[in-house]
Amino acid sequence: MKILFLEWASFGNEDMQEAFRAEGHSLVSFPFSNKETRQDTAAEKRLAEALRREAPDLVFSFNYFPLVSNVCKKEAVRYVSWVYDSPYVMLYSYTTINPCNTIYVFDKELCMEFQRAGISTVHYLPMAANTGRLDRLCPADTNRSGEALPPFGYDISFVGSLYTEKHNFFERMTSLSDYAKGYLDALMSAQMNIQGYNFIQESLSPIMEDLYRALPMDPNPDGVESREYLYAQYVINRKITGLERARILQAAAAHHPVDLFTHDRSFQLPGLTNHGSVDNITEMPLVFKRSRINLNISLRSIKSGIPQRAFDIMGSGGFLLSNYQNDFMEYFIPGEDFDYYESTEDLLAKTDYYLTHDDERAAIAQSGHAKIDSRHTYRHRVREMLARL
C-alpha cells in the first residue's frame, strides 16, 4: 500500500514510519504544518497536487485535520488519522463525518461518545510503544569520571507538565464573581476526589455567563463543540490536573525522594529534585529505565484512555504506578503488568510497598514490557488500523 504520510512536528513520526515500512508499505512524506488545520487555500492546493501526483492509497496523519479531510473527500482518497491529543477540539468539526475518514482515538469512552451520536467514522485504538527502539536505549553504566552508576538513579519519578507553563487559561480569569470562584473551587475539589469519571463539563451551566465574561471562548464556525466543552477541557480540567499533580508530588516527596522532569524549573518542594525537561526520544526512556517507580497522573480531560506516557514506561521496561483509567483493565492486569492507585493515601502505601519489594516490582515491570512487546507496538497498531479499511 502506498501511503502519503503528513509529516509535522508530532510525536511518534519515526516510530510510525518504521512500522509502516516494516509491514511492507511504501511511504511518501508530505511536509505539513499543524497550523494548517481548517481553511488554507494554499495548503489545500499543495495537498491536492501531491495527491494527484503521487496517487497514494491513503493519507495518514497523527491527529485529525479538517483541511486534510476536505481535500481527501474532493480527491476521493481515504484519510486515516490517529489522535493522541486530549482534548482535541477539531474532532468536533462537521468534517468528521466525511466518508473518506477513518479516525482513531485512544480513549474508548470518547469513541463511544461519537458512536452514540451516530458518527461511524470514529474508532477506538489505544496508543503504542516501539519496544525495539526503546530496548536499544541503555542507561550509562558509569558517569563522566568513570565511576560505576547504580542500576536505579531515582526512587520515584514523574515526567510531564504541571500546566503552569503555556495553555494556562485558568489564571487569566481574574474578573470572576465571588459566586463563580466559590462554585469552581468546590467543583474542582470534588472532582479531585473522584477517579474514573469526570463531571466538570456537565456541571458548568450555572456559571457559564461568568466564565464567558472573564475569558471569552467561542466554538469554531465549522464545529459542533459547546462552550461548556471548551471551558471544561481547555481551562478547568487542565487546572485540576496541575493542582492534582502538585498535590501528589508533594505527598510523595514527604515520604521518599522524588525526581521531576518538567518544563517549569521554578517548581520546588522539599524532597523533590526538579531536573527540567527531557527529550522524549532519547532521554525520557532512560528516566523510565532508571526509576524504581514511574508515576502516571493522567490529564483530567482523558475520559478512560491510557496515556502515551504509560505505554512508554512499560515499553521501556519501567515499573508503572498510575491513577485509575478504565481502558487499562481491557489490556493489562493490575499487580501483574502495572499497578494503580485510588487516592493519595493509596499511592503512598503502594510506593512504600514497591520500594521495599524489589523482586515483585521487577517482575511486574518485566511482565508489562512483555505485554507491550507482544501486543502493543506500532506494528500491531498499523495492522489493526489498516485491517478496518
CA 344 to chain centre: 22
292, 319 contact by CB (below 8 A):
yes
Q: How far is CA 60 from CA 67, 94, 271, 282, 292, in A?
A: 13, 19, 45, 25, 37
Q: Which one-letter amino acid corresponds to residue 109?
A: E
The secondary structure of 32-94 as a DSSP string is --TT--S--HHHHHHHHHHHHHH--SEEEEES--HHHHHHHHHHT-EEEEEE--SS-GGGGBG
* Separation between Cα atoms, residue 31 and residue 167, nearest integer Å: 26
* Separation between Cα atoms, residue 257 and residue 189, nearest integer Å: 27
φ, ψ of residue 154 in degrees (nearest 5): -135, 145
137, 157 contact by CB (below 8 A):
no
Strand boundaries in the chain, DSSP class E: 2-7, 26-31, 58-62, 78-83, 101-105, 122-124, 154-159, 258-261, 272-274, 291-296, 320-323, 339-341
155, 355 contact by CB (below 8 A):
yes
The pLDDT tens digits along the chain (389 residues) read 999 999 999 999 999 999 999 999 999 999 998 877 777 899 999 999 999 999 999 999 999 999 999 999 999 999 999 999 999 999 999 999 999 999 999 999 999 999 999 999 999 999 999 999 999 998 877 666 666 677 889 999 999 999 986 557 999 999 999 999 999 999 999 999 888 889 999 999 999 999 999 999 999 988 999 999 999 999 999 999 999 999 999 999 999 999 999 999 999 999 999 999 999 999 999 999 999 999 999 999 999 999 999 999 999 999 999 999 999 999 999 999 999 999 999 999 999 999 999 999 999 999 999 999 999 999 999 999 999 99
CA 51 to chain centre: 30
- Alpha-carbon radius of gyration of the chain: 22
35, 62 contact by CB (below 8 A):
no
pLDDT in tens, 309-335: 999 999 999 999 999 999 999 999 999
* Separation between Cα atoms, residue 365 and residue 316, nearest integer Å: 9
3-state secondary structure of 148: strand
Closest-CA residue to 310 (of 126, 154, 112, 135): 126
> Whole-prediction pTM value?
0.95
pLDDT in tens, 297-310: 999 999 999 999 99
For 99, the grid coordinates are 466518508
309 Cβ contact partners less than 8 Å away, ≥ 6 residues apart: 159, 160, 296
The neighbour count for residue 116, using CB atoms within 10 Å, is 8
Q: Which one-letter amino acid corresponds to residue 188?
A: M
227, 219 contact by CB (below 8 A):
yes
For 150, the grid coordinates are 547504580
